[in-house]
Amino acid sequence: MKKHFEESLINGIKRMNNASDQHKKDELTSSRVISEDLEIDELILTHSYSQSAAQKILGVNHIVFKQIVDKAIDSGIIEKPLKLAHSYKYTIAHIHALQDYLNIKSWKDKFKGLEVIVVNNLKGGTGKTTFCVSLCVELALQFSYRPRILCIDLDPQGSIAQYTNLDMNDASILTGVDLMLGDNESDSVYQQYKSAGYSHEELVKGSVVSTHIPNLKILPSHPNDGRYIDDLLKMKLQAIRNNPETKDCVFNDLLQTKIIDHIKDDFDIVIIDTTPQKNVLVATAMDAATGLLVPCTPHALDWDATQKHLNSFISLIKDETPSTGDKLKWWKVAATNFEDEFGRDTAIYDKMREALSTDLLSNPLARTHAFEVAAQNKITVKDILPSHKLAPKKQLMKAKDSLTAVGRDIMHLMLTHADKADESEVK
Ligand SMILES: Nc1ncnc2c1ncn2[C@@H]1O[C@H](COP(=O)(O)OP(=O)(O)O)[C@@H](O)[C@H]1O
Ligand SMILES: [Mg+2]
């Protein structure tokens, strides 16, 4: 439970003040230091690239690469690369800075508007959170777009906070629900920040947490967020009492108005993990959604539940969201946890393909032990190298390959529907 607020408020305020410069700082000071000799976060090392890999990403030969790197170091654009066993390693931050230095266009230069993908299924334990965090990392690592991604956890289970260094017992951390309820709650941590002089916008930006990937941030949740449903009901009843004409979905735009509108210039893609219930938290996510992904394990019970869910979901979007689904550009069911080796899941997967046709994402996410090991270690399969010996190499490759294929499908969907930036605005 959230306690010791007075002590942690000071830390919280420091965090808010540092928010604008957070990711650079976190990159070097993250507490998950494993390679102690180097005092560099193991996860940052995992995602560092050899000179030849970095050259490939930038699309230049080794002579040009060396010239660019020397110039970028001289002009303070990048710090020196890491030196490991006689070879240089370039972190994601190095590569992004070099891409910017070379004026290589990123997502924000090519597209306008924010993509908001909601990951939802009524069935719990179907692989939603695994799908969601894996997708966030996969998309963040697309160097050709380097999209700025925000993962919002709207499931009060709070699983995604475990993928950060956050101690969620720290009362000074604000969750998405804390920000959405905001002024409607008295004596809250949010209110104390407000009294300390912070604006709502500063609190939203300051509550977004950095990860080991500079262009991926997280807005966590906490079991306390379960109060949202009751609190919202009270707010609705009050509003209806004041004005009997008030529509039932009156507050279901709070994610859009209290969070997304305040960070829309800082991110390109928002990916939201939701609770496996049909409730106001899901409605508030769907109000903001431009894309919907419904992960489903190809098992009879899961597929059955998913079909029922899809039928009733349409009425949730139409009747319970102020936007009535106007922003939604695409939706797909995504097969996840798919076991192909023994043909165990093939029959149901075929049924899903037949029933859904193009509404099924082209590629499934494979079921492999590597995803389980990753989840147990609160990392993604993308954060594991064969040398870590956490999962057999074959399983790891299978996991990564299927994630790459799923990432490509979803990228393609977004690219098909995204609004191109005006040429005149493109740098
Ligand atoms: N593709 C996968 N391969 C193997 N295990 C998986 C896969 N996806 C999820 N799991 C495992 O299934 C369990 C439930 O996954 P989770 O993502 O937490 O589901 P949900 O969020 O729908 O409750 C976890 O133990 C997770 O490790
Ligand atoms: Mg989950």
CA 131 vs CA 70, 125, 362: distances in Å: 40, 11, 15
Are 227 and 305 in a shared domain? yes
CA 264 vs CA 91, 115, 116, 198, 323: distances in Å: 26, 10, 10, 19, 17
Are 124 and 219 in a shared domain? yes
The CATH number of the domain where 380 resides is what?
Answer: 3.40.50.300
Residue 7 has a pLDDT of 56
Contact 27, 93 (CB under 8 A): yes
| Edge-to-edge order in the sheet of strand 149-153 | 209-210, 216-219, 149-153, 269-273, 115-119, 291-296, 330-335
Are 204 and 353 in a shared domain? yes
Is residue 16 in some structural domain?
no
Nearest CA to ligand 1 atom 8: 127
Are 91 and 149 in a shared domain? no
Is residue 6 in some structural domain?
no
Q: Which residues line ligand 1 (CB under 6 A)?
A: 124-130, 336-337, 365, 367-368, 371-372, 375
Residue 344 has a pLDDT of 85
Is residue 132 in some structural domain?
yes
Nearest CA to ligand 1 atom 7: 337
Is residue 194 in some structural domain?
yes
Nearest CA to ligand 1 atom 15: 127
Are 62 and 180 in a shared domain? no
- Which of 101, 120, 152 terminates a domain? The answer is 101
Are 43 and 167 in a shared domain? no
Is residue 394 in some structural domain?
yes
Are 314 and 346 in a shared domain? yes
Residue 187 has a pLDDT of 86
Q: Ligand 2 centre from 261 Cα, in Å?
A: 25
Burial of 336 (0-12, 13-18, 19+ CB in 10 A): buried
What phi and psi, each to the nearest 5 degrees, are found at residue 135?
-65, -40
CA angle in degrees (0–180, nearest 5) for 114-119-122: 145
Residue 230 has a pLDDT of 93
- Which of 101, 127, 142 terminates a domain? The answer is 101
Residue 6 has a pLDDT of 53
Are 71 and 138 in a shared domain? no
Is residue 15 in some structural domain?
no
- Tell me which residue range forms the domain holding 83: 32-101
Parallel/antiparallel/unpaired status of strands 291-296 and 330-335: parallel
Are 83 and 120 in a shared domain? no
Is residue 169 in some structural domain?
yes
Are 163 and 64 in a shared domain? no
Nearest atom in ligand 1 to 365's CA: 1
Is residue 22 in some structural domain?
no
Mean pLDDT split into 10-residue runs, the chain, 427 residues: 50 63 39 40 90 96 97 95 89 96 96 96 90 98 97 95 87 94 91 94 95 95 94 92 90 97 97 93 96 96 93 89 94 94 90 97 97 94 94 96 98 94 62
- Which of 55, 71, 101 terminates a domain? The answer is 101
Number of domain units in the chain:
2
Residue 128 has a pLDDT of 94
Are 254 and 295 in a shared domain? yes
Measure the CA–CA gap between 122 and 305, rounded to whole angstroms. Answer: 7
Are 362 and 252 in a shared domain? yes
Nearest CA to ligand 1 atom 14: 125
